[in-house]
């Protein structure tokens, strides 16, 4: 039977029912997506009823609908923020000119590459997280995992919509390839580094949603400024879903922190012996996922970033907070590596834009870490989680290939090799964390290593049956 693409099946505000070309493209792609979801999406649970949020419109109040749904029946939709009439380029060489509704020929490759890179991260994260349903610390957390997974699936749809609608035949080919690369696969890996790292347990999942989804927030915000209007409008709507992903990460780690503090106050105070995750171990996983996520902003000095800004395709975070939007002749003051030494220098602003965005991201991460530290303080414990230096454990950009301690001191290779296990999870840490990962599927119950959430989802109680067993 022919696969019928309808508005009912695919909630949208892009006039899908009137767009034959898009219907045809999706008729081919949608079954491939479902195959991918069944093959590479969450292991197990596919036939269960999960209490999920579905995007059903773009109204700020009431865009989301909550109900039980089986994941393969999730209604992955296509939503763009409504068009603002008269919108003009907010930055770059075309500043003040009307935005584009079609892809300008001279920037086609650049744009396609950005859309594909963004699109690639979405299914990658689902693949990374696919086994976690076997060890969820509670039904509440299990549901949040699947919520994040289906929404990353929708983010893939968002990018595929752009590829299929605006990039012709090669866009359709790219859309297919998004379902063919695999996270961590040596032959056809996902494009960006952090999306090939294993997320093999829930501590890494929470750190990933705290730090890596937050990269998503900043990259999407930069693309939300785009002068290619369909990209801007798509990314704006994606950001409404992103907030929940970062909430899952930040509050997840905060609950582990709280539990660790409670256990520290028990007689003996040995957190690990009582089935908790101790604060020094949390610090190591924060160091790992934060540094992997810093890599996602690209090189510190980047002509690609300069070109994307000049073309009006990728702006800064909240571009309208800035006074000046062309950035010709201005500079960014930052650390750079010169002949093996760290020196502070002025870099032409357009070339520094990856670092400018990373700097905004770092501030946002720090605000989240401050909230964790407040929890520790409120528990009466004297300890702080600290974000490491932006040079620590980098694999992309100018710090890659050199070694730095968490406080930013340059180290020789021998010192790094000897001390690395103090700063990043070592084999024993990973084994210990995995040893704690046992499923807890009883309503309202929590695993030993995590405190309950402050409140439930959608104003429901914490012990609601978020996943029907």
Q: Residues in contact with ligand BYC, total (CB under 6 A)?
A: 25
Pick what 295 binds: ligand BYC, Fe ion, none; C-beta below 5 to 8 Å, kind-dependent. Answer: ligand BYC
Q: How many CB atoms lie within 10 A of CB 463?
A: 15
Q: Which residues contact 333 (CB under 8 A, 6 or more apart)?
A: 344, 345, 346, 347
One-letter-per-residue 3-state SS of 274-313:
HCCCCHHHHHHHHHHHHHHHHHHHCCCCCHHHHHHHHCCC
Pick from 77, 171, 216, 315: which binds ligand BYC (CB under 6 A)? 216
- DSSP letter (8 states) at residue 208: I
Q: Residues in contact with Fe ion, total (CB under 5 A)?
A: 6
Q: Is 236 in the site for Fe ion (CB under 5 A)?
A: no
Look at residues 111, 103, 56 and name the one whose alpha carbon lies nearest to residue 78. Answer: 56
CA gap 466, 101 in Å, rounded? 41
Q: Which residue has the tokens 């834009």?
A: 353
Strand partners, 410: 404
CA gap 298, 292 in Å, rounded? 11
One-letter-per-residue 3-state SS of 407-433:
CCCEECHHHHHHHHHHHCCCHHHHHHH
Of 81 and 122, nearer to Fe ion (C-beta) is: 122
Pick what 244 binds: Fe ion, ligand BYC, none; C-beta below 5 to 8 Å, kind-dependent. Answer: none
- Residues 203 and 26: beta-carbon distance below 8 Å: no
Of 16-24, 71-79, 127-135, 207-215, the segment contacting Fe ion by CB under 5 A is 207-215
Q: Is 372 in the site for ligand BYC (CB under 6 A)?
A: no
Q: Is 156 in the site for ligand BYC (CB under 6 A)?
A: no
Q: What is the dihedral of CA 382, 392, 118, 357, to 10 degrees?
A: 80
Of 302 and 389, nearer to ligand BYC (C-beta) is: 302
Give least dist CB 229 to ligand BYC, A: 17
Q: Is 41 in the site for ligand BYC (CB under 6 A)?
A: no
Of 99-107, 209-217, 369-377, 408-416, the segment contacting ligand BYC by CB under 6 A is 209-217
**DSSP letter string over 320-337?**
GGSS-SS-SS-EEEEEEE
Pick from 12, 54, 125, 254: which binds ligand BYC (CB under 6 A)? 125
Of 190 and 258, nearer to ligand BYC (C-beta) is: 190
Q: Is 245 in the site for Fe ion (CB under 5 A)?
A: yes
Of 165 and 219, nearer to ligand BYC (C-beta) is: 219
Give least dist CB 379 to ligand BYC, A: 30
Pick from 30, 54, 121, 149: which binds ligand BYC (CB under 6 A)? 121
Of 100 and 218, nearer to ligand BYC (C-beta) is: 218
Q: Is 278 in the site for ligand BYC (CB under 6 A)?
A: no
- Residues 143 and 52: beta-carbon distance below 8 Å: yes
Give least dist CB 30 to ligand BYC, A: 20
Q: For the chain, what's the residue count?
A: 469
HSE of 207, CA atoms in CB hemisphere, 13 A: 25
Q: Is 147 in the site for ligand BYC (CB under 6 A)?
A: no
Strand partners, 467: 50
CA gap 74, 52 in Å, rounded? 9
Pick from 396, 433, 440, 446: which binds ligand BYC (CB under 6 A)? 396
Of 303 and 435, nearer to ligand BYC (C-beta) is: 303
Pick what 193 binds: ligand BYC, Fe ion, none; C-beta below 5 to 8 Å, kind-dependent. Answer: ligand BYC
Of 123 and 276, nearer to ligand BYC (C-beta) is: 123
Residue numbers at the binding site for Fe ion (CB under 5 A): 122, 152, 155, 213, 216, 245
Residue numbers at the binding site for ligand BYC (CB under 6 A): 114, 117-118, 121-122, 125, 152, 192-193, 212-213, 215-216, 219, 295-299, 302, 304-305, 314, 354, 396
């Amino acid at each position: 039977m022919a696969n019928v693409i309808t508005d009912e099946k695919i909630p949208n505000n892009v006039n899908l029912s009137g767009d034959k070309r898009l219907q045809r493209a999706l008729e081919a792609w949608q079954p491939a997506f479902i195959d991918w979801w069944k093959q590479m999406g969450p292991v197990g649970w596919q036939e269960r009823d999960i209490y999920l949020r579905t995007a059903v419109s773009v109204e700020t109040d009431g865009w989301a609908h909550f109900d039980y749904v089986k994941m393969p029946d999730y209604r992955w939709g296509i939503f763009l923020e409504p068009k603002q009439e008269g919108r003009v380029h907010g930055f770059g060489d075309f500043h003040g000119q009307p935005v584009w509704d079609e892809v300008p020929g001279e920037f086609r490759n650049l744009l396609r590459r950005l859309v594909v890179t963004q699109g690639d991260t979405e299914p990658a994260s689902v693949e990374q997280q696919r086994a976690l349903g076997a060890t969820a610390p509670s039904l509440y957390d299990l549901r949040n995992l699947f919520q994040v997974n289906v929404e990353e699936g929708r983010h893939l749809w968002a990018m595929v919509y752009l590829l299929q609608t605006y990039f012709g035949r090669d866009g359709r080919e790219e859309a297919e390839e998004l379902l063919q690369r695999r996270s961590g696969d040596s032959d056809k890996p996902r494009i960006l580094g952090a999306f090939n790292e294993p997320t093999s347990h829930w501590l890494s999942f929470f750190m990933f949603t705290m730090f890596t989804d937050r990269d998503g927030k900043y990259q999407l915000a930069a693309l939300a400024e785009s002068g290619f209007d369909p990209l801007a409008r798509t990314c704006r709507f994606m950001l409404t879903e992103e907030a929940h992903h970062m909430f899952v990460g930040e509050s997840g780690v905060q609950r582990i922190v709280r539990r660790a503090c409670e256990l520290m106050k028990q007689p003996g105070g040995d957190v690990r012996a009582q089935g908790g995750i101790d604060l020094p171990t949390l610090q190591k996983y924060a160091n790992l996922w934060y540094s992997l996520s810093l890599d996602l902003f690209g090189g510190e000095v980047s002509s690609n970033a300069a070109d994307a800004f000049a073309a009006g395709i990728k702006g800064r975070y909240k571009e309208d907070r800035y006074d000046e939007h062309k950035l010709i002749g201005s500079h960014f003051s930052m650390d750079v590596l010169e002949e093996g030494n760290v020196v502070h220098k002025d870099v032409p602003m357009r070339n520094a834009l990856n670092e400018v965005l990373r700097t905004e991201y770092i501030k946002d991460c720090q605000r989240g870490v401050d909230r964790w530290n407040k929890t520790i303080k409120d528990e009466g414990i004297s300890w702080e989680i600290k974000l490491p230096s932006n040079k620590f454990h980098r694999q992309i950009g100018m710090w890659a290939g050199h070694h730095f301690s968490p406080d930013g001191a340059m180290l020789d290779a021998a010192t790094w090799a000897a001390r690395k296990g103090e700063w990043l999870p070592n084999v024993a840490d990973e084994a210990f964390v995995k040893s704690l990962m046992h499923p807890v599927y009883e309503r309202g119950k929590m695993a030993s290593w995590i405190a309950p959430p402050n409140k439930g989802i959608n104003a429901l109680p914490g012990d609601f049956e978020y996943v029907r067993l």
